[in-house]
Structure formats: C-alpha cells, structure tokens
Structure 1
Amino acid sequence: MPSLPFVRCPLARSIAALIPVTAVLVCATASAQEAVNNDTLVVVGTALKVDTPLVETPRPVSSVDREELETRNVQQLDETFRYRAGVLAGHYGSDNDTDWFKVRGFDQSTYQDGLRIYREGFYQWLPEPYGLERVEVFKGPSSILYGEAPPGGLINAVSKRPTDTPQGSVNFQLGNRNHRQVGIDTSGPAGESDDVRYRVVGMYKERDGDLDNTDNERYYFAPSLAVDFSEDTSVTFLASVQKDDGVPVNGFKLPYGSIQDTPFGRVSPQSNVSEPNYDRNKRTQWGLGYELRHDFNDTWAFEQDLRYSELDLELRSTYALSMVDDRRASRGLTLRDGKADSWTVDNRFVGNWYTERTENTLLVGVDYQNLGLKGQEGDDYAFGAPIDIFTPTYGNYTPFADEDLVERHIDKEQTGVYLQNQLRLDDRWVVLGGLRYDHAETENTNVTAGTTERSDDNQLSWSGGVMYLGENGINPYVSYTESFEPIAQSDSAGNLYDPREGRQWEAGVKYAPIGWDGYVTAAVFDLEESNTLVTSPAGFQVQEGERSSQGFELEGVGYVTDDLKVTAAYTYTDSRLEDDQRASLIPRHQASTWLDYAFTGGALNGVTLGGGVRYVGESVDGDTQVGSFTLADAMIGYAFAEGWQAQLNVNNLTDKEYVASCDYWCYFGESRSVIGSVSYRW
C-alpha cells in the first residue's frame, strides 16, 4: 500500500485448464543444491534449516529463481509471486516505497538470507530484486525456526553469492514512465585458487511512479566475499547499501469516484491528490553480515548467520482522507524522520546419524533479534485546504511545524530457543517435530510527552508433521504449526499492541514422479490468528478478536516438453473476521498460468516467447464489493550473438483500468508497464 498513516462460470473453465498443465513445482530454498537422479531434477534446501528434499518435507514452500526473475523482469519484490499459489500482491497498486504481500489471507514478515528484515511503521527495508538469487515464500506459521512471524507465512529474499567459476553480466533497460536502469554483476575466484571468491553487484535505476508527479531514483551496491579457511570451515561475508530518493506514490482513492459513480464521472487512476512539491521519500539502508559454517565431524556441524543493518528515513506523505463535498476531499499528512538499526543472529547445531532403518536429523538453535528505532513523527488529519479530486491543484497548504513533532523511541529485543527433529523411517515415513520458546521485550517511549509503554512477552510454540513417501512418487502429509509475533507499534492512543498468535492445520500431497522433471503440490489449510489487527471505520489500525482463513492451493512449475515450460497456480481462500464477516482485500479465487517457449532451431532459433494470464476474483470491504479482474503479461527475448540477449516485457498488456481492492480507501491496479532490456554475459 502507498505510504499511509497506520490506519489501515468462466472461472471453472479456467481452473479445469490449469490442472493438466501443472506439470511440476520446482521448490528451492536458502541454500539450494541440485542433483540429478533418474533423469529427475531433485532440489534440496533449508526450508527446515537442514538440507532436505522439499518434496519429502511436510511444509509448503514456493520459490522463484534467478532465471524466472529475469524472464519476467521483476522490478519490485512484490511482483515475484504473481504466478504462485497462496500469495496476493498488487492489491494496493504499484507502490514505489513499500513491498506488499498477503500470504494465505494475512500479512507476512520479510527475511533476507534467513534473518529478519524489520519493517516497523514506515521504516521499510526494501530488498532490490537485481541483487537476489531467488525469493521464497514459506506458507503458514513459521515461528518455530524463523522467530517472530505472522501466521500467513514469511518471504525470504536470498542474496547473490560468490561463484566458483568466473562470470559476469551487464544490463541496460529503458521503458515507459521514464524507466532507465543499468546494472553490473561480476563474480569468481579472487586469485588462482578458488578458496577465496568474490561477487560485486551494482545497479542504478530511476522511474516515474504510477501516479502523476511521482518518481523514484535508486542506487544499489552489494559486494560479497566467500572464504574457505579449511575443508571444514567457511565464511561468506555479505554487504549491501541502497539509497532511494523520490516522491512517494499515494494511491489512496476514496470509494467516491473510484468504485462509485459521481455526477462528474470517475477519477483518473493516475490522479495524484498529494503534494508532490512537499512530499518526499528519502531512504538509505545498509547491512553487513556473514554466514559461518563449520563441520566438527561426520555427525555434527555448527552454523551461524549474523547481520547488522541501519535504515535512515525522511518521509513526507500526503493522502486523501474523506470527501467534504461532491468534488473536494480533505487530506492528511504523515511525517517520519528517523533511524532504525537492528542486530540479528541465528546460531544452530545440526546433527545427523543413521541406523539400518532410520535417518535422523536434529537441529538445536538459539537466535537473537534487537531493534532500535529513534525518530520524529507527526500526523496531521487536516492538512492544507481540501483538494479537487477530479482536477487537483497543488500548493494550498502550510508545512508541518517542527514544534508539533513527537520524538519517539522504540526498543525491542527477542530471544528464541528452538529444537527440531526429523526422523526418516524405512524410506517410507518422515516424522517432523519442533518446539520453540520466545522471550520478547518491547519498550515504546514518547519522549515529548514523557510516557513509556512496556511489554514483556513469553511464548512456547509447537509444530509437527508426518509424511508418507509413496513408491509412485505421491507423498501425502499432515502438519500442525504455530506462530508468535510481538508488535513494536502502538495504536492511535499510543498503547502497544498485544502479540499476535497463529495456529494452522494443513493436509496436502507432493507429487514427484520418477523421470518427470519437477513437482506438483496441493494443500488444504485451516489457519487462525488471535489479537489480529483490522482497519476501523475511522481508518485506523485496531486490535480486536480473531481472524481465520481456510483454503486450498494447487501449484506447478516445470517443463511439459523440452522447449515448453509451464507455471500454473490456483488459490481458494476464505478469510474471515471474528464476526464471520469476510476480511477486506482477500479474494476467494485466484488463478494464473505462464508459458515459456524457446525456439531451438530453424529461422526462429534463439527466440523465446513468454506470456501469462492472471485472474483475481472479487473481494469485499464491508458491504462494498470490488469486482474481479483478469490481466495479461507478455515477453519476447532474442539471443542475437554470443552472450548477448535482447528482451521486451509488457505487464498489463491491454492497459486494463481496474480497482485492485478496497479497505476504507480504494486502490487502482498498476497501469501497463513496458520495459526493453539488453544484456551481455561472459
């Protein structure tokens, strides 16, 4: 959603068409490795923080790798999972200062390289897609291993890392909305030996926002270094710095003029009712950390991940608040100036041992998270004169006075101890169990008023699952998971929210046929959250009652032929509040299909075609219904010389005008995006 105050049957035929082409699901995770067995690609990784084939784990994980990020030319993190099940994105339109996801009907946490990225209030750390190797979504409560997280799941962005072999690329892009980008990525051994390896990723891009008079400029630089001290010990150092400077996209449209008719017609989706000459979003973020791996012997290993990060923010953000007559709306202002810094560290011991009938993996870990946020804030709910939403004119306002700012400090610490054991019996059964204890302390101080709110929370969480490994490659499973999430935010009265807690039951099946390159997954789930946050009729976030979500997901990714790759997904989600009212924003039905076809001979040799269709069903906001919509995307690529590739990507091919969702405000979906690129690899 754009920066805001914390206020917050054709389908049947489409589903039938999805089922035959859900050929495979290629699941990759934080340290994915590939092995070929019986001509089938087997991908293992660390969804459970231990190397395990994901088709043999009773947990749902989806992944988008580097190749797909480039094929679809993903520009923002929340574009990643447009063709995956269980994830809703784009419901607030195209934002230029925040990534927005809903997973299984809930907000999610974002991690980078397995460590928490803090996003408190408007202090949002934004991973740059150009610097990522892949992006993963862990569906359902994931607190057992990854600490605090909302019940819907978490997003994990995996950074590019040094490679054993020399390689590199340069990339140039031009597009509509004055899009310009140049990037470089080079990696390989630092000397004659491959014991020390480096990678340097750098990028510059700028683009106008999807609203009039908005824009953003970004600089990104990410060096990394991997060192093998011995056969048993290695360290990978990861660093990044990113600077954004622009005018934020405030896509808040009132129902009047967006989904409701007026005597003056509808407002333009690109209409901007903020103050472009006053609004600004300046963000500088940097992080430095490492990943340590040490093998004691054939049984035990120690792993440690650590990162320190800082984010400096200067934000002025004006938005429409309510109609005052049939043409004009009052406006509000959000102002934030401050800095957030955080330490995160995860320590774990991994043990593996075997008997004639069993394979056992034990994981014991301790993690620690520390967040400090200091800054000035101001909220004005009568900012300037009302503005004409049909023909806005700017400049009729008085800047926010410094003496009206509030100084706020938020300090948060959390320590978690976790234990997980995975037992494989007779190569037919996988039994997974885990527990976690968390202690979290949060202190929210209004320095100006001299008041402090404190919370001291303790939580014991459980998880478990059983899977049967069928001889025919069909692996059914059932699992139970819990989540725990302290909230370092305060309500409109300045009081801290209580921690959110989640519980989920899930049953599913993962299909991995021998000789077929890929996977198919299907799952049903029943998810509940207590102490949930909802948007009040006045537009503020309040904490009340419970929220539930039940649903079904079907997803597949893989090759139907040697030249044709298919990605397909279907999601059914019934998300409800405690009074049995449907939750805002969440559609019941989503479906998507993307096809990639590579010509490998003849006159079209070197040409790659791609295209997709995304369907999002109707959603609600109380008694207001938001209609469904269908969007088409396309790409064409051409390898025209050794190492050279040209590509054209078009999202929202028909430039369809639609309202993506409503939640007090309404949000138009992103307009057509056209980007051409040329790259060279060596």
Structure 2
Amino acid sequence: MDTFKLRQLSLSIKQGFAVGTVALLPFTFPLANAADQSDLEQMETIVVTAQALKVETPAQETPKSVSIITEEELKTRAPQKLDEALRYTSGVTAQPYGSDNDTDWFKVRGFDAATYLDGNRLFRDGYYTWLLEPYGLQQVEVIKGPSAILFGEAPSGGVVNAVQKKPTYTPQGEVKVEVGNNNAQSIGFDISDEANESGSMRYRLVGLMKSADGELDHSESERFYLAPSLEIDISDRTMLTLMATYLKDDGTPTNGFFPAAGTLIDSDFGKIDPSTNLGEPGYDTYERTQISVGYLLEHDYNDTWSLSQNLNYGYNDLLLRSVYAFPNSDPTASELARGVVFRDGHNQSITMDNNAVASWFSDRSEHTALIGLDLQYHETEGEEQDSFAFSSINPWNPDYGNYTPLDPANNIDRKITKSQASIYSQYQIKFDSQWIGLVGARYDWVQTENKSIKGAQDESRDDGQLSLNAGAMYLAENGLSPYASYAQSFEVLSTIDPSTGKLYKPLEGDQVEVGVKYEPSFMNGYVNLAWFDITQKNALVTNPNTFVATQTGELTSSGIEVETVSQVTKSIKVSAAYTYTDAKTNDTGGQGKKQAGLIPEHAASAWVDYNASLAGIQGLNIGTGVRYIGESKDSPASSNLTVPSATLWDAAVTYDITSQWQAQLNVNNIFDEEYVSGCDYYCYYGQSRTVMLNANYRW
C-alpha cells in the first residue's frame, strides 16, 4: 500500500482513539470510534500518517518514547493554548510559569523542548517566540529526549511537533461559536472540500476570531487566525501539499511574575491576590503578527525509494513593552521595585528538509534506510531596551500611573542570525520478525552571529557537531516489546557570555532509555513504560556574587514514565499517565547538586471518556480528568523553598442535539483551586477555573 493510500485511509477516520501517529511514518495502533463503539467488538488496527520520525515503521517497533495528542482529544479537551494541550502527557511539565497569553511554556523530561510546525523549526530568540493556535491543529506529537538525528540543534528535552489541519478526502465543515468566563468569546470555521471535479485537488480553510481577559486584572487579548491548505495529486505517485497560516494578536501581556513573599511564604501584609497586575496596564502593550508559508512534496520513486521535500518560511513581528516587579522574600517589604522590558522587531526563518527513504526485503529481514539534507536559516532583528529602575508598586494596593516612560533614544539595536546545514542517515533492520536494530548519525554545520552597532558587539562562531543514535528492540509473541536506545542532542546559544565577551558554547546532551511497550491480547489498549537518564553539559551556572552566568554546569534528569490507554468497555475509555523525574542542577550558588527548580518529582493524570449511548442517552459523551502536580522546588540558586502539590479536576460534556448540531461544555480546574504552579526566582500562580461553552454546526 503506497503512502497516499495510507494517508487516505487515515484521513477518512474522523473519530478514533489512538496513541497516535509519528512522523512521515505510517504505523499501526488499536483504535475505537467513540461515536459508534457499540458496533465494535475490538478496536480496529489501522495505518495512520504523521510527521515526526521521518521513516515508515510500526509504533511497536520504535525504540523511543513518543506521545500523541490526537485531533479527537484536542476537540474534547478544547485547549486554548499549545501548553494546555500537553497537560495529560507523561514526561511533560505544562505551564510551569502559569497561564501566559503571549508564550507557551512546557518542559519535557526536565529540559526545554523545541517546537515545530509540520516538522519545521519554530525558532525562538528571547521574547521573540512563536504561538500556535490549537484550533488549527490536527494533532500534537511529543518526541521525548535528545533528537539531534532528526532535526539537528535543539534542546535536550526533545521535540513538540504540531501538525496543521490539512485537506480531507471526504468533504466536511464546521462552524462554531464559543463563550466563557473571563469575557471569552470566539467564532471559528473549518471547511474541507474538493477544489476540482476530479477530486485530485482538495482544500481546507480554518479560521478563528477570539478575545478574552487575561488571568491578571487589566489584561486582555484578541486574536485573528487563518490557515489555508491545498493538496494536489500531481500523479499517482506524487503529492504536493501547500500550507499557510496567519495569526494576529493584540492586547495587554499577562505578566505573572510574583514575589515569594505573599504567595509561597507568609507576608506581614497578607496574601497577594492571584489576579493582581504588578505591571503597568496603561503602558504595557503586546502586538504580534505571524505568517508561515510552505509546502510538502512527496514522491514514490519506485517500490523501494520514496522522496520528500519539506519547506517553510516563517515571519514573526513583535511589539512588547512589559513592566514587572522584582522578586522578594522579605515578609516585611511593602513596596517592590519594578523593571521594564521593551522589544520591537521581527524574526524570520526558512527551513528545507530533503530526505529519501528506501525499504527492501531479504530472506529473513526487512531493511529501512533514511538519508537527508537539512538546511535552516534564522534571523532576529529589532530594537530593545531593559530598564531595572522603572518605578515601584505595592502588591497589596497597586497604584498605577507613577512612572517615567522609556526614552527611545536609549534603545539598542540587535541582530542575531543562525545558519544550519546538515546531512543525516539512519539504518534500521528487522530480523526474523522479532529482532530490531537501529543506528544513525548526523553532522551539522552551524554559524551564529550576534551583532549590535550601538552596543558595540559583533560576535560570531562556527560549530560542527556529530550526533549519534542507536536502538534495539525485541518483539515477543505475548505483546511485550522491550527496548533500549541512546541518543544525543546539542543546542546552539545565540547570547553572549558577559565573562568572556564571546558567544556561549553549545549545550550538549545525551540520553540512555530503556523501556517496554506492551499490547496484551486480553485488553483493547496498551501500556508503555520507560526509564530515561539525560545529562546536559556546558550548562549555565550563575555566580552568586556577580550574577553572571558561565558554562561550568551540568544538568541531569532521570526518571520513569508510564502511559496506558484502555477501552475498558464499549462505553468507557480510560487513559492514565505517571511521571517520576529526578532533575538535578549544580546552578545552586555553590551548594553542590540539588533538585532543579520548577520540575516536580511526581506527576500523574487520568482521563475517563464515557459514551452514554448504551445507557439509552443517545449523543451524550462525558469526559473527566484529574491532574496531580507534585511538590517542586524553587531555583536552588535562589532559595530552598518548596512549592506544594496541587490536584486539579477537569471535565468535558458533549451532546449531539441533532446529527449536525452539537453543544460542548468544558470546565478546567472545577473547584477553582488557588495554587502556585512553580517558582524560579519568581513564583507563578497556576491557571484559575475556566468555563467554555460552545455550539457547533457540522456537515
């Protein structure tokens, strides 16, 4: 079955449950259609397509941890941001800095992770970050741990790859209207249809307009989003997919930097209200314009070779002026000094990945080879200013308007460029249908420059990096698939080391992972278990006397992850996850290695979906979930404070009024628990209760 037939099969399934899909990679998983479970005795095994691993291989034959948030899960849980979509994923710390309307925050296995859109890197330089609209996503893939073999330079945590909605072979459409607390309101549409009579061209158009107040007083945001795509069957063996997105945000930034005194520890003046805005609402501003344009060209050259080229251009324009209060742990302090950050500029990037995959068979083995050439260019340019003497504020009785605006004459120009050229190759063999071996290598050439004429800085460096990976797996007849793997990563820093006046060296990471994937015959579902150990070298360590960060540190993270999904009955599906993470750092102000800030040692979640059709209530689906966020620590270079654990309850209720009309209610943090999500010099309140009610018309 060729790639396009596999894709057609996957796109024809509108409702299903699966671990999901992994990169340019058709593989099998048991699925159950939640809308028609009574007709299924067992979850079907089908082939689906996605984009993160770049080769075709069954999921049970991948010696690496991968988690997928499917389109059905995105619809059910209705996240408003990408980081909200990751709340029920093992190994992921979602929203450690609380709810932020201008940045997605998450860490994977104790480290930062890179964000991709359809396999294309969304670069990040300081405040210049990309935001993704969940309504425009088909699924989200999390590749855990170092992944340099696939994408080159990236953080040690791994890869979060968002897959944009693309045309379907069956025409379909949706219009939705949504309202919620915090003055939330939105209207969206999602239309897919044939673009010509023969059906060889198909389009999809996704759009959304929404607005809402932020978590803090006097903060709000508005968004306009549009995402067109077009698929063209050039021939029976060649497909071209054109994709674009446009996102426009306008509002006041939600700046959730709170002091420890009054949040995590007692203050003489009581508790600081979580909605208190310590910024300057009349002065703070946030405007963002994002554009991405690209294509995916796929060609089956013959029965052995398939070729693909993935190209994307991204442009991100940002205007940010945001006032913040300084950290404080003194319970007697009633006034906090404030600073302000100003950024006015843009970044743009172009990425192009070319690869070829060969698959062939011999008497007792199956072979898969991947070779590729990857080219990337990224540029950030604009004006910036940071003032650490803006004004002061009383967190318990804020009085706004007492400040002196920034003088544009003090702005500093900044231009950062990064170029990457890479060649990579990976070979996999399956022997006697039971033994699997995998080995790969990649070499990256990276050139980085950080330049400021007014700041009298012009630093550049060239880096060459060899990255390796290897894995082995055994497929037992009883459904157990034990495996072991090794992978490397490196992350190029574009900032200048104040102690040397030169650009920092790349961060280097490696991971050992041992696990087992289990699909027992006695249940419709799976259980995945993994143990990992990651070490990152050249980590930044802050000198407590000079507050200058030097590359003398080492970060380590080891732990255990468990994920399971089971169709318990025809009406009930259960998914659960547990993560233990032992993250250590020696950025402790000379105290040796200690638990790293923000990362809880224990985290767990469970979600239950119930289809009430068998109980006689046609069209009613109820989902509910519990998230446990264990204790974490403040940054050990700042304090020894412990952040208490929190348990949160979420729910989703969907009712099909008719075959076309549907209503859905989502409530997150049902009891409106007030909690601190994490501390890292500052402390951050977790997101309060959100209530969203939407009506959908579908055809």
Provide the C-alpha distance between the structure 2 equivalents of 1:260 and 1:236, rounded to a whole number of angstroms. 54
Query: Which one-letter code corresponds to 1:663 in the other structure?
Result: D
Provide the C-alpha distance between the structure 2 equivalents of 1:352 and 1:98, rounded to a whole number of angstroms. 41
Match of 1:145 among 147, 150, 154: 150
Query: Which one-letter code corresponds to 1:448 in the other structure?
Result: K
Aligned partners of 1:639 and 1:646 also within 8 Å: yes
- Aligned residue for 1:57? 62
How big is the shift at 1:338?
A: 0.3
Whether 1:179 and 2:184 are equivalent positions in the alignment is yes
Whether 1:28 and 2:21 are equivalent positions in the alignment is yes
Query: Which one-letter code corresponds to 1:236 in the other structure?
Result: T
How big is the shift at 1:327?
A: 1.0
Whether 1:340 and 2:357 are equivalent positions in the alignment is no
Match of 2:562 among 526, 540, 554: 554
Whether 1:444 and 2:457 are equivalent positions in the alignment is no
Aligned residue for 2:333, secondary structure, equals coil
Q: How does 1:74-89 map to 2 (within 5 A)?
A: 74-89=79-94
Aligned residue for 1:69, secondary structure, equals helix
Whether 1:408 and 2:381 are equivalent positions in the alignment is no
Provide the C-alpha distance between the structure 2 equivalents of 1:471 and 1:534, rounded to a whole number of angstroms. 49
Per-residue deviation, residues 37-94 of structure 1 (Å, max 9, x unmatched): 8854355555431121112110110000111011011110001121111000121111
- Aligned residue for 2:435? 429
Whether 1:359 and 2:366 are equivalent positions in the alignment is yes
Unaligned segments of structure 1, at least 5 residues: 1-23
Per-residue deviation, residues 374-396 of structure 1 (Å, max 9, x unmatched): 10000001112x10011111111
Query: Which one-letter code corresponds to 1:353 in the other structure?
Result: W
- Residues 567, 36 of structure 1: CA spacing in aligned structure 2 closer, same or farther, 3 A cutoff? closer
Aligned residue for 2:436, secondary structure, equals strand
Whether 1:213 and 2:218 are equivalent positions in the alignment is yes
Match of 1:592 among 595, 600, 605: 605
- Aligned residue for 1:10? none
How big is the shift at 1:490?
A: 3.3
Moved more, 42-51 or 417-426: 42-51
- Residues 317, 85 of structure 1: CA spacing in aligned structure 2 closer, same or farther, 3 A cutoff? same
Query: Which one-letter code corresponds to 2:342 in the other structure?
Result: L
- Residues 492, 200 of structure 1: CA spacing in aligned structure 2 closer, same or farther, 3 A cutoff? farther
Aligned partners of 1:347 and 1:367 also within 8 Å: yes
Aligned partners of 1:26 and 1:63 also within 8 Å: yes
Aligned residue for 2:135, secondary structure, equals helix
- Aligned residue for 1:565? 573
How big is the shift at 1:584?
A: 0.6
Aligned partners of 1:26 and 1:43 also within 8 Å: no
Match of 2:263 among 258, 264, 272: 258
Match of 2:135 among 125, 130, 135: 130
Provide the C-alpha distance between the structure 1 equivalents of 2:221 and 2:280, rounded to a whole number of angstroms. 15
Per-residue deviation, residues 246-273 of structure 1 (Å, max 9, x unmatched): 1001100011111111121110011111
Aligned partners of 2:327 and 2:682 also within 8 Å: no
Match of 1:638 among 655, 665, 678: 655
Per-residue deviation, residues 624-676 of structure 1 (Å, max 9, x unmatched): 11111111111211111111111111101100011111110000101110111
Query: Which one-letter code corresponds to 1:567 in the other structure?
Result: S
Per-residue deviation, residues 175-233 of structure 1 (Å, max 9, x unmatched): 00000011100002112212111000010011111111111100000100011111111
How big is the shift at 1:601?
A: 3.9
- Residues 654, 32 of structure 1: CA spacing in aligned structure 2 closer, same or farther, 3 A cutoff? farther
- Aligned residue for 1:530? 537
- Aligned residue for 1:330? 337
TM-score, normalised to structure 2, is 0.91
- Residues 32, 438 of structure 1: CA spacing in aligned structure 2 closer, same or farther, 3 A cutoff? closer
How big is the shift at 1:556?
A: 1.3
How big is the shift at 1:603?
A: 4.7
Provide the C-alpha distance between the structure 2 equivalents of 1:272 and 1:543, rounded to a whole number of angstroms. 35
How big is the shift at 1:533?
A: 3.7
Aligned partners of 1:182 and 1:204 also within 8 Å: yes
Unaligned segments of structure 2, at least 5 residues: 1-16, 31-41, 587-591
- Residues 541, 192 of structure 1: CA spacing in aligned structure 2 closer, same or farther, 3 A cutoff? farther
Provide the C-alpha distance between the structure 2 equivalents of 1:558 and 1:149, rounded to a whole number of angstroms. 33
- Residues 32, 638 of structure 1: CA spacing in aligned structure 2 closer, same or farther, 3 A cutoff? farther
Whether 1:647 and 2:664 are equivalent positions in the alignment is yes
Whether 1:119 and 2:132 are equivalent positions in the alignment is no
Provide the C-alpha distance between the structure 2 equivalents of 1:216 and 1:341, rounded to a whole number of angstroms. 23
Aligned partners of 1:27 and 1:54 also within 8 Å: no
Provide the C-alpha distance between the structure 1 equivalents of 2:81 and 2:565, rounded to a whole number of angstroms. 21
Provide the C-alpha distance between the structure 1 equivalents of 2:281 and 2:542, rounded to a whole number of angstroms. 27
- Residues 602, 627 of structure 1: CA spacing in aligned structure 2 closer, same or farther, 3 A cutoff? closer
- Residues 110, 467 of structure 1: CA spacing in aligned structure 2 closer, same or farther, 3 A cutoff? same
Provide the C-alpha distance between the structure 2 equivalents of 1:192 and 1:652, rounded to a whole number of angstroms. 48
- Aligned residue for 1:667? 684
Query: Which one-letter code corresponds to 1:28 in the other structure?
Result: T
Q: How does 1:238-257 map to 2 (within 5 A)?
A: 238-257=243-262
Aligned partners of 1:564 and 1:597 also within 8 Å: yes
- Percentage of identical aligned residues: 49
Aligned residue for 1:600, secondary structure, equals helix
Q: How does 1:608-619 map to 2 (within 5 A)?
A: 608-619=621-632
Q: How does 1:299-310 map to 2 (within 5 A)?
A: 299-310=304-315
Per-residue deviation, residues 131-183 of structure 1 (Å, max 9, x unmatched): 00000100010110112111111100000001111101011100000000111
Match of 1:577 among 582, 585, 610: 585
Query: Which one-letter code corresponds to 1:292 in the other structure?
Result: L
* Higher RCO by CA contacts (8 Å cutoff, separation 6 or greater): 1
Aligned residue for 1:544, secondary structure, equals strand
Q: How does 1:150-549 map to 2 (within 5 A)?
A: 150-323=155-328, 326-384=333-391, 386-491=392-497, 495-514=502-521, 516-533=523-540, 543-549=551-557
Moved more, 598-607 or 267-276: 598-607
Match of 2:45 among 41, 48, 63: 41
Provide the C-alpha distance between the structure 2 equivalents of 1:602 and 1:585, rounded to a whole number of angstroms. 44
Query: Which one-letter code corresponds to 1:612 in the other structure?
Result: G
RMSD, aligned CA? 1.8
Provide the C-alpha distance between the structure 1 equivalents of 2:160 and 2:140, rounded to a whole number of angstroms. 7
How big is the shift at 1:496?
A: 2.3
Aligned partners of 1:44 and 1:51 also within 8 Å: no
- Residues 540, 606 of structure 1: CA spacing in aligned structure 2 closer, same or farther, 3 A cutoff? farther
Provide the C-alpha distance between the structure 2 equivalents of 1:541 and 1:184, rounded to a whole number of angstroms. 47
Give the count of matched residue pairs: 658
Query: Which one-letter code corresponds to 2:553 in the other structure?
Result: G
Aligned partners of 1:30 and 1:158 also within 8 Å: no
Aligned residue for 1:398, secondary structure, equals coil
- Aligned residue for 1:12? none
How big is the shift at 1:129?
A: 0.4
Query: Which one-letter code corresponds to 1:379 in the other structure?
Result: D
- Residues 200, 510 of structure 1: CA spacing in aligned structure 2 closer, same or farther, 3 A cutoff? same
How big is the shift at 1:25?
A: 6.5
Whether 1:626 and 2:632 are equivalent positions in the alignment is no
Provide the C-alpha distance between the structure 2 equivalents of 1:462 and 1:590, rounded to a whole number of angstroms. 31
Aligned residue for 2:100, secondary structure, equals coil
Aligned partners of 1:257 and 1:266 also within 8 Å: yes
Aligned partners of 1:652 and 1:671 also within 8 Å: yes
Provide the C-alpha distance between the structure 2 equivalents of 1:496 and 1:199, rounded to a whole number of angstroms. 44
Aligned residue for 2:276, secondary structure, equals coil
Aligned partners of 2:571 and 2:614 also within 8 Å: no
Q: How does 1:8-27 map to 2 (within 5 A)?
A: 26-27=19-20
